[in-house]
C-alpha cells in the first residue's frame, strides 16, 4: 500500500538518502523554543526538519534539506519543502495508513520510505520513535558527527491540534532516551546552547 501510494514521487535508495547527510547537521524539533534556539544556536550543515517544525521553519526563512515525517503535521508546508527539492522520509506505522494513502502521492521531490516494522526492498528502518529522534537516528546512521538540536525540549510538549499532551510527553521521554542513549563517543550533540559529548 505504501509503495503504490507514492508512485509518481522520485523514490530513492538508502544510499541516495544518505548522500544528503553531511558531517554536521542541524536537526529541528518542534518545541516552543524553536525560533529562539535557531537564533541562538544558528544553523550548520545539512538541515533536517521533523515534520511538525517545517511550517515554522519556512516562516523564519529556513528551508530544510530533509523532512522526516509520519504525515501528522502541516502537510502543506511539507509539500512546499518537497516541491523545493527537500528529501522527504515518509514513515509508516500502525495508525497512519489513511494519512499515507491520502498524502504520500502528493510529494513531488525525492522520497525515502521508512518503517518501525521489518524493512524490506525500498522501505528502510534507520531507528527512532518520533519524527525528531528518527531524524537524529537518520543522520547518525550516515555518519554525522556534530548535531545541533534547536527546538528540542523533552519536558514540555508543543501543543498540536488533535494531539494528547500526556501521550506526547511520554513520547518525548522516549525521544530523549533514544537521542541521548544511542550517542557514541566522539559525536557532539548541541541542544539549547549546551554542548555535551558522550
Residue 198: predicted pLDDT: 31
* pTM (2 d.p.): 0.88
Residue 63: predicted pLDDT: 98
Given a cut of 80, is residue 38 above it in pLDDT?
yes
**More confident of the two residues 137 and 191:** 137
Q: Which of 23, 109, 120 is nearest to 69 (CA)?
A: 109
Residue 21: all three cell numbers together:
547527510
Q: What is the pLDDT of residues 46-60, one digit of tens each?
A: 999 999 999 999 999
- DSSP code for 60: T
Mean of per-residue pLDDT scores for the chain: 86
Given a cut of 80, is residue 161 above it in pLDDT?
no
Q: Which CATH number fits domain 2-197: 1.10.15, 3.40.50, 3.30.530, 3.90.1480?
A: 3.90.1480
Report the percentage of the chain scoring pLDDT > 90. Answer: 58
SS3 25: strand
CB burial of 98-128 (b: ≥16 within 10 Å; e: otherwise) equals: ebbeebbebbebbbbbbeeeeeeeebbbbbb
Q: How confident is the model at residue 197 (pLDDT cuts 50, 70, 90)?
A: very low
SS3 118: coil
Q: How confident is the model at residue 4 (pLDDT cuts 50, 70, 90)?
A: very low
Amino acid at each position: 500500500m505504501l509503495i503504490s501510494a507514492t508512485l509518481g514521487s522520485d523514490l530513492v535508495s538508502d544510499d541516495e538518502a544518505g548522500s544528503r547527510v553531511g558531517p554536521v547537521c542541524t536537526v529541528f524539533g518542534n518545541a516552543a523554543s524553536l525560533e529562539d534556539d535557531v537564533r541562538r544556536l544558528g544553523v550548520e550543515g545539512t538541515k533536517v526538519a521533523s515534520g511538525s517544525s517545517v511550517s515554522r521553519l519556512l516562516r523564519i526563512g529556513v528551508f530544510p534539506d530533509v523532512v522526516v515525517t509520519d504525515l501528522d503535521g502541516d502537510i502543506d508546508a511539507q509539500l512546499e519543502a518537497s516541491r523545493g527539492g527537500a528529501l522527504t522520509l515518509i514513515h509508516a506505522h500502525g495508525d497512519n495508513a489513511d494519512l499515507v494513502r491520502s498524502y504520500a502521492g502528493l510529494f513531488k521531490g525525492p522520497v525515502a520510505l521508512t518503517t518501525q516494522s521489518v524493512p524490506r526492498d525500498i522501505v528502510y528502518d534507520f531507528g527512532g520513535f518520533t519524527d525528531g529522534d528518527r531524524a537524529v537516528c537518520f543522520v547518525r546512521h550516515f555518519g554525522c558527527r556534530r548535531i545541533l538540536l534547536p527546538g528540542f525540549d523533552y519536558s514540555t510538549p508543543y501543543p498540536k491540534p488533535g494531539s494528547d499532551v500526556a501521550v506526547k510527553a511520554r513520547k518525548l521521554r522516549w525521544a530523549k532516551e533514544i537521542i541521548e542513549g544511542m550517542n557514541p563517543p566522539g559525536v557532539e550533540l548541541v541542544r539549547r546552547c549546551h554542548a555535551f559529548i558522550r
